[in-house]
Structures are given as C-alpha cells and as structure tokens.
Structure 1
Amino acid sequence: MSICLTLTDINWSLTRDVVAIIGTFGALVIAALGLSTWNRQLRGASEYDTAKRAILLTYKVQQEIQNVRSPMMFLNKDEVEAGRRLEEEQRIYDERMRALYEKWTDLQAVRLEAKVIWGERASDCFDQLQKVIGNLRSAIWMHFWLKGAYAGPGAEVDTTPARRIENNKIVYYESETDEFSIKVTSAVENVEKFFKRKTKIGKET
C-alpha cells in the first residue's frame, strides 16, 4: 500500500494555524528569556548602585570624622575676648559633630537598604565604624569635662596629665598612622571588604 499526497491534499488552513501557533509560542519563549535577562540586569544595576553608595558615603563619614579631630580651629575673636573661649570651642565641635552625623544618617539609610538585599552581614560590616563614632563623641564630651565645662560649683574634676593625654589621642588628629586614625581606617576597610565585591555586576551577589 502506498501513500501519495499531492499539494491539493494538504489542509493549508490548518497548516497555517499550526505554524502561527508555533511561531507565537517561540516568540513568547524568546520574550520570557529576554525579560528574565533584563530583570537580572536591572537587579544587578540596583545592587551595584547600593554598594557604590555604601562605599562612597563611608568615605564621606571617614572624612567628617577626621574633620572633627582637626586641631585647626578658628575662634570668634569677639567671643574669646568676652571670656567665652570654652563656649566658642564647644560651638565649633558641635558644628563638626552635626556635619558628621548628617553623613552618618545618610549612610544608615543605605545600611538598611543593604540589609534588605544581602542580610545581616551587610549591616554588621558598619558596626566597627559606628563604634568609632561613639568613641569620638565620648572623647569630645570628656575633653570639655576635663576643662570644667560641665562641672557644677564645687565639683572636682580629675585633670591628671595622663588622662588628658589618652583622651587627646582620640580628639586630635595627628596623622593617618596615629592610634585612632588606624582604628578609623580599619572600620572603613570592613565596609570596603564587603561592598567592593558587590560592585562587580554579574560576578557576585
């Protein structure tokens, strides 16, 4: 028994429908693959941006920390001559700390965003930097306490040279290799270590 089909025996209407269905299905598959790739690229770009901002803001916080510690201070002459030198120094340190905490607040927002993306490790890498800032704030408070700024009438303040020297190691910037600067650098490196790998889109998530 032989089967022989001629062109007139083919149901061209049905064939066109089948071809159209196959074509449509293929287009949907290609579109789905393209959308998946686009989503991955979009996610990667978003994570890259978060990582980049985390590093940049960390550098800005580092800069503000060292600005706070700068021994250079321009006091208002009128305030000094009026006998308010200590108050003038406090004003300057308040302004410096306010600038530092503004940058730290910005960094905290990125820290939270990073935690959402990468989990607790992303947040934890800022812990050392937060501790450094807290130590600096405490040292500045102690700096003025040792000068009698917060002592009430009749209060005795321990102003031994050794105590001042230890506190001044935190308050005053000397170089990038002074004891406190090394701690600042180490805290910054913790952040760099985590996020610099995240700036390589497609290589690590």
Structure 2
Amino acid sequence: MNICFSVSEINWSLTKDIISILGTIAAVGIGIYGLSTWKKQLRGTSEYELAKKVLVKSHQVAQAIQAVRSPMLFLNKEEVEAGNSLKEEQRIYDERLNHLFSEWSELATLRLETKIIWASGADQAFDDLEKTVKKIRSEIWLHFWLKGAYRSPGATVDDNPDRVAANDEIVYLISDEDDFSQQIYAAVKKVEQYFQNKVRSE
C-alpha cells in the first residue's frame, strides 16, 4: 500500500508545528516576564511593609520613652505605709522600662532587616533613637542612686541640687517642648527622613 502526501499537506503540517513551537516559546517568555514582574512587586511590597512597620514602631518607642518619664506615680498604699515607697517607685519604673525595652527590641529586629536590605544607611538612621533609650535608662538608674537606693551602709551620695535638677529634666516629662522631648522627636524624625520616601514610592 502506497501512502502519498502532497506538498501542501506537508507544508501545512510543518506550519502547524512551527506555530505551536512559537506559541510555546511565547508562553514561556510571558511566564518568565510575569514571574520577574511578580518578584519585583513582591519585593517592593515587602520593602514597603517593612518601612511602614519601622515608622510605626519608632513612634511607639518614642511614646514608651515618654511613658517612662510620666511624673504620675500610683504607689501602692500598703507599701508606702510600710515604709517601702522607694522600692514601690522602683517597681513602677522597672515596669515602664521593661515595656520600653520590649518596644525597642521589636524595633531592633526591624533595624536588622533594614540593614540587610538597604545597608548601613538604614542602620545609622536609628542611632539617635537608640541613644535616647540608653539615656533614659541610665538617668533612671542615676535617679534612684541619687535617692540612695543603691547606697551601701555608711556611704554618701553626691546629690547636690544642680545634679538632681539636671537628672530631673531627663527623668520627668514636663511637656513636649522640654529639651529631652525634643531630642526624642528629633531622633524619630531622623528615622522618618530615611524611610518615608520608601513608603511614598509605592
């Protein structure tokens, strides 16, 4: 039995194969382009979300610092009557500081992520805010040292009025316009200046 194909049949078959191959190549190309675009969008979205989290958490850290500085102390009546008012005051400040350190720890984690993505420029944006966290911690310690909380028997404390007044300016929140408040807000502003454009670019 002889099987014969006409030239037109062979050409049509070849044409279909070529069209099929070109279609496959085009589909693969579109898929690769789409995947690349999706990856860029995903990365852009991830960076946007990270920048937004940093901005929010920076303000929360600032609020936590100011909460530490609140002059309002609700002392336990029984502890005060038992002569433990200084220890009760320390307990309150310890709770406030623990909250601050928790907020700062979360921001420090975000800070590490930003350093991986945007290198040292992002990392340095947090330096001043870190200094304010360390400053309030050291000044709270000094506050209680000046009150004799850590004094060993027979030891004296240099609690001259100027030193106490300087410490009070840091420890006690007077207003959002006081010097230390301005340092806190300037530190947050430095974070904002670096990361706000990364939020706006989306």
Task: Tell me by how many angstroms 1:77 deviates.
Answer: 0.4
Task: Tell me by how many angstroms 1:132 deviates.
Answer: 0.6
Amino acid aligned to 1:189: K
SS of the residue 2:177 aligns to: coil
Q: Which residue does 1:179 correspond to in 2?
A: 179
SS of the residue 1:11 aligns to: helix
Contact 1:45 1:201 in 2 (8 A): no
Amino acid aligned to 1:141: W
Alignment of 1:155-170 (within 5 A): 155-170=155-170
Counterpart-to-counterpart distance in 1, 2:157 and 2:28: 78
Q: Following superposition, which runs of at least 4 residues in structure 1 exceed 2 angstroms of deviation?
A: 6-10
Question: TM-score, normalised on structure 2?
Answer: 0.94
Q: Which residue does 2:196 correspond to in 1?
A: 196
Structure 1 gaps of 5+ residues are: 1-5
Task: Tell me by how many angstroms 1:62 deviates.
Answer: 0.6
Counterpart-to-counterpart distance in 1, 2:14 and 2:112: 58
Task: Tell me by how many angstroms 1:27 deviates.
Answer: 1.4
- In the alignment, is residue 23 of structure 1 matched against residue 23 of structure 2? yes
Question: TM-score, normalised on structure 1?
Answer: 0.93
Contact 1:44 1:201 in 2 (8 A): no
Task: Tell me by how many angstroms 1:8 deviates.
Answer: 3.2
Task: Tell me by how many angstroms 1:201 deviates.
Answer: 4.2
What percent identity do the matched residue pairs reach?
A: 51
Q: Which residue does 1:128 correspond to in 2?
A: 128
SS of the residue 1:95 aligns to: helix
Task: Tell me by how many angstroms 1:12 deviates.
Answer: 1.0
- Coordinate RMSD, CA, aligned: 1.4
Counterpart-to-counterpart distance in 2, 1:165 and 1:148: 16
Structure 2 gaps of 5+ residues are: 1-5
Alignment of 1:93-108 (within 5 A): 93-108=93-108
Task: Tell me by how many angstroms 1:10 deviates.
Answer: 6.0
Task: Tell me by how many angstroms 1:140 deviates.
Answer: 0.6
Task: Tell me by how many angstroms 1:101 deviates.
Answer: 0.3
Counterpart-to-counterpart distance in 1, 2:158 and 2:66: 27
Task: Tell me by how many angstroms 1:198 deviates.
Answer: 1.0
Counterpart-to-counterpart distance in 2, 1:60 and 1:39: 31
